[in-house]
């Protein structure tokens, strides 16, 4: 069986890098990768089983959550997280310009531009900043445009598109990492997992109820590694909460927490129980 | 004294609309508005007192927080919120094209594009979607480009740039509102306020400590209207929390909460106590 893995393309993205790690962890030799132009199309392809797994960015240590991923998993599709892949992120300036002062335009994904803000302010204060859908799309544009354009992208992009690196490691922050989720249409069959992600909302959107919800985890000594609010897409002040906790699906305490939350919440969805690989 | 108010330009943005409301609430006739191209430059202008107030978007009911606003107020500048302005948001399709099938490109701020996703998928599935820095920038581009381009923007934009509206109210969600904050260099002198915003982080980034922090507010019967995590811009799993609560700075319970949090948190910053105007 061909086990296709979808990623956020085009070639050269950090998402592809994460997908290659997932590919290497699978037994089949005939597995192959397929690029999708947006996260929405990628997740829809997993849902319609055009690919077996999708590798999507979920959170960056600097920019925070990738909202479209969270919103689609919570509200639109019923997919399951099978694995978390944590990638270290290093940004480089790719350009045919021989020196910085020849560059009038810098293109990249908005997160990459934001993560190099101090470098751009200091070294390229007059450059026009242009958002692209991915870091690779920026490099593709640079490779076909005039010498005055530059892209912020990975070393992988440099290797794929052969655009020279003029400045290395230009990110403002040293601990830059992105969490990717490997999602599938069916729940993972792994019994021993380290982490569980869920999303919930409360009947009364009062943080007294959030306080009580967090208390359920505290009562069973389950540590939360993340809590993130997102609008419920109704009025202002109406939220859903994404919670990651350090407990697998075989943890009896977690089972009790989930039983209680089932009764106390107006919406509860398990996004998956999974393990983590760091690269 | 000329009381200049800065907003996220160019002319026609929702930010300008909010700034006009702020202008109307001030006593001086000689007040005037000034547009800034980015939120970062606008907030820096408030910090250097080039303008007395800046009107910045803080949160949208669909898209969630405006991260650059939160991050700059938390980490980079010491500014204070004086007022919250809540605007109802309606999106329209502005274009010189006579019919939808003549449109090959739709431009707008990424939030506006995201908020009209279902309309775009259904009515303009083949259109190329292009991000711009603001809804007005998209309209400006449409007004100078070929007939096949369209912008998603406000009625205000239609009035300012005279680009026709081809489709009205194309947003996917009926309750679409944006919170704007009016920020200044000095704290507000208002004694009676309804709401306080603060940002904090805990020594140990364990949600047990978040649970205890929320407990301080619960103990004094202070309702939280929002809790939002943002990365501390260190490793993954390190967060700061933005909290809005229904208590003014004259509330004795809030004073006690803040005294306790001062000792319990590793970082605590009051962003302001203020009232809210709805439009």
CB pairs under 8 A, 24+ apart, for A256-264?
A256/A220, A257/A216, A257/A217, A257/A219, A257/A220, A257/A222, A258/A198, A260/A216, A261/A200, A261/A213, A261/A216, A264/A202, A264/A209, A264/A212, A264/A213, A264/A216
B-chain residues within 8 Å CB-CB of A225? 207, 237
Mean pLDDT rounded to a whole number for chain B: 91
Best A68, A231, A246 member to test B by mutation, with max B CBs in 10 Å, is A231
What's the pLDDT band for B271 if we cut at 50, 70, 90? very high
When pLDDT is averaged across residues A174-180 and rounded to a whole number, the result is: 92
The reply to whether A64 touches chain B by the CB within 8 Å rule is: yes
**pLDDT exceeds cutoff 70 at B84:** yes
Q: What is the pTM of this model?
A: 0.85
The reply to whether A59 touches chain B by the CB within 8 Å rule is: yes
What's the pLDDT band for A181 if we cut at 50, 70, 90? very high
- Vertex A41: Cα angle to A38 and A44 (nearest 5): 150
Q: How far apart are CA A66 and CA A177, in angstroms?
A: 13
What's the pLDDT band for A208 if we cut at 50, 70, 90? confident
pLDDT of amino acid A207: 60
B-chain residues within 8 Å CB-CB of A235? 61, 175, 177
When pLDDT is averaged across residues B14-28 and rounded to a whole number, the result is: 88
Q: How far apart are CA B241 and CA B228, in angstroms?
A: 6
Best A132, A134, A229 member to test B by mutation, with max B CBs in 10 Å, is A229
Q: What is the pLDDT of residues A222-232, one digit of tens each?
A: 999 898 889 88
* DSSP, res A237: T
Scanning B167-226 for CB atoms below 8 A from A yields 173, 175, 177, 179, 206-208, 210-211, 214-215, 217-218, 223-226
Q: What is the pLDDT of residues B241-265, one digit of tens each?
A: 999 999 998 999 999 999 999 998 9
CATH class of B4-89+176-184: alpha beta
ipTM over 0.95: no
Q: Are B63 and A67 within 8 A, CB to CB? A: yes
Q: Are strands B92-95 and B165-167 parallel, antiparallel or unpaired?
A: antiparallel
pLDDT of amino acid A108: 95
Q: Are B228 and A229 within 8 A, CB to CB? A: yes
Residues 6+ apart with CB under 8 A from A64: A228, B67, B229, B230, B231
pLDDT of amino acid A232: 86
**pLDDT exceeds cutoff 60 at A205:** no
B-chain residues within 8 Å CB-CB of A113? none
Q: What six digits make up the tokens of B35? A: 């547009």
Residues B182-196: b if buried by 16+ CB within 10 A, e if exposed: bbbbeebeeeebebb
Q: What percent of chain B shows pLDDT beyond 70?
A: 96
B-chain residues within 8 Å CB-CB of A228? 229
B-chain residues within 8 Å CB-CB of A215? 211
pLDDT of amino acid A236: 82
Q: Which residue of A has its CA nearest to B219?
A: A208
Q: Where do the domains of chain A lie?
A: 4-89+176-184, 92-167, 195-278
CA atoms lying within 13 Å on the CB side of residue B16: 20
The SS3 assignment for B210 reads: helix
**pLDDT exceeds cutoff 80 at A2:** no
Q: Which residue of B has its CA nearest to A129?
A: B133
**pLDDT exceeds cutoff 90 at A260:** yes
> What CATH number belongs to A92-167?
3.40.190.10
The reply to whether B76 touches chain A by the CB within 8 Å rule is: no
> Does this chain's domain B4-89+176-184 share its CATH topology with B92-167?
yes
Distance in Å, alpha carbon of B209 to nearest chain A alpha carbon: 10
The reply to whether A100 touches chain B by the CB within 8 Å rule is: no
Mean pLDDT rounded to a whole number for chain A: 91
pLDDT of amino acid A63: 84
Pick the CATH number of B195-278 from 3.40.50.720, 3.90.930.60, 3.30.70.260, 2.40.50.140: 3.30.70.260
When pLDDT is averaged across residues A23-36 and rounded to a whole number, the result is: 83
Distance in Å, alpha carbon of B122 to nearest chain A alpha carbon: 15
Best B224, B233, B278 member to test A by mutation, with max A CBs in 10 Å, is B233
pLDDT of amino acid A210: 86
Cα dihedral across residues A244, A245, A246, A252: positive or negative: negative
Q: What is the pLDDT of residues B196-223, one digit of tens each?
A: 999 999 876 565 788 889 999 999 999 9
What's the pLDDT band for B191 if we cut at 50, 70, 90? confident
Q: How far apart are CA B142 and CA B154, in angstroms?
A: 14
Residues 6+ apart with CB under 8 A from A146: none
What's the pLDDT band for A110 if we cut at 50, 70, 90? confident
**Least confident span in B50-54, B128-132, B202-206:** B202-206
């Amino acid at each position: 069986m061909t086990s296709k893995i979808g990623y956020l393309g085009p070639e050269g993205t950090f998402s592809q890098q994460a997908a290659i790690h997932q590919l290497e962890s699978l037994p089949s030799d005939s597995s192959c990768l397929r690029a999708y132009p947006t996260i929405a199309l990628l997740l829809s392809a997993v849902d319609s089983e055009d690919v077996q797994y999708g590798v999507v960015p979920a959170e960056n240590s600097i920019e925070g959550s990738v909202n479209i991923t969270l919103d689609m998993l919570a509200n639109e599709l019923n997919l399951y997280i099978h694995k978390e892949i944590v990638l270290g992120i290093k940004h480089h300036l790719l350009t045919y310009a021989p020196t910085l002062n020849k560059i009038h335009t810098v293109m990249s994904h908005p997160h990459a531009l934001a993560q190099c803000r101090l470098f751009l302010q200091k070294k390229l204060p007059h450059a026009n900043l242009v958002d692209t859908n991915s870091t690779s799309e920026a490099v593709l544009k640079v490779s076909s445009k005039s010498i005055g354009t530059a892209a912020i992208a990975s070393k992988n992009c440099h290797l794929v598109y052969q655009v020279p690196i003029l400045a290395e490691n230009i990110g403002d922050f040293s601990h830059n990492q992105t969490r990717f989720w490997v999602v599938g249409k069916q729940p993972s069959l792994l019994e021993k997992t380290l982490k569980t992600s869920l999303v919930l909302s409360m009947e009364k959107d009062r943080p007294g109820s959030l306080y009580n919800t967090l208390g359920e985890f505290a009562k069973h000594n389950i540590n939360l590694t993340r809590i993130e609010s997102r609008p419920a897409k109704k009025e202002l002040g109406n939220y859903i909460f994404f919670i990651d906790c350090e407990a697998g699906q075989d943890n009896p305490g977690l089972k009790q927490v989930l039983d209680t939350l089932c009764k106390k919440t107006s919406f509860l969805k398990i996004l998956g129980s999974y393990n983590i690989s760091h690269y």
